[in-house]
Amino acid sequence: MVTTDKTPVVVVLAGGLATRMGGGEKALRRLGDRTLLEHVLARLDGQTSRVLLNANGDRARFSRFGLTVLPDPLPDHPGPLAGVLAGMEWARKHRPDIPDIVTVPTDSPFIPRDLVRRLFEARQEAGAELACAASLERAHPVVGLWPVRLAGTLRIALTEEGVRRVDRWTARFALVQVPFPAAPLDPFFNANRPNDLEAAEALLRAHPDI
């Protein structure tokens, strides 16, 4: 996908509490010689004209990355949908010419290098409103393509309806799941726990060219 000024903005979701990782800043945990965030940014290189980071707390800890940091627009860590909303509302205010955002989690260091293009093309082909990634016959709801025009609807769902699960909200719309091959490894491998980082290290050693 050739990036242009109107390529969807990508929001890296790092607003969680990382409880399964034992707390702390998951995005800054190291995998090999890079942080998880650096792995994700490297995979996004060439896919978008702008990367934003959804994270709460002191923004200074991410200053070396040169990213715009968006806190959750709602209190009490309501989950990844808050990060989606943060990205939508940023785009609506700062880039009204961009109709979509893409979101990826900060703990998926092997995301596909053609993710944005394939989500966009699949949504167009299916005539759907939303697109999310899938692998191994399993959907990954937070890896998705989201129309900015749904920001108001999402805010109402979060603030007035108490919706927290991503798939509960996306079920209201025409959604296409976009399957990605899981060989030689699952591109949506998720580093949720310390032993997941060990597994990711092993994958990096086994597939140094990935």
pTM for this predicted structure:
0.93
Residue-wise pLDDT tens digits, 30-47: 999 999 999 999 999 999
Considering only CA atoms, which of 105, 104, 80 is closest in space to residue 164?
80
pLDDT at 7: 82
145 within 8 A of 130, measured Cβ to Cβ: yes
DSSP 161: S
Q: Taking the mean position of all CA atoms in its chain, how far away is CA 84?
A: 8
pLDDT at 6: 63
Domains and CATH numbers, the chain: 9-206 (3.90.550.10)
Strand, helix or coil at 206? helix
Strand, helix or coil at 80? helix
Structure token digits, residue 27: 């995005």
140 within 8 A of 170, measured Cβ to Cβ: no
pLDDT at 193: 83
Structure token digits, residue 47: 């896919």
Cα three-residue angle 61-66-70, rounded to 5 degrees: 70
pLDDT at 3: 53
pLDDT at 19: 45
Q: What is the pLDDT along the chain (210 residues), one digit of tens a residue?
A: 555 556 899 999 997 655 454 456 889 999 999 999 999 999 999 999 899 999 999 999 999 999 999 999 999 989 999 999 999 999 999 999 999 999 999 999 999 999 999 999 999 999 999 999 999 999 999 999 999 999 999 999 999 999 999 999 999 999 999 999 999 999 999 988 889 999 999 999 888 877
Residue-wise pLDDT tens digits, 189-207: 998 888 999 999 999 988 8
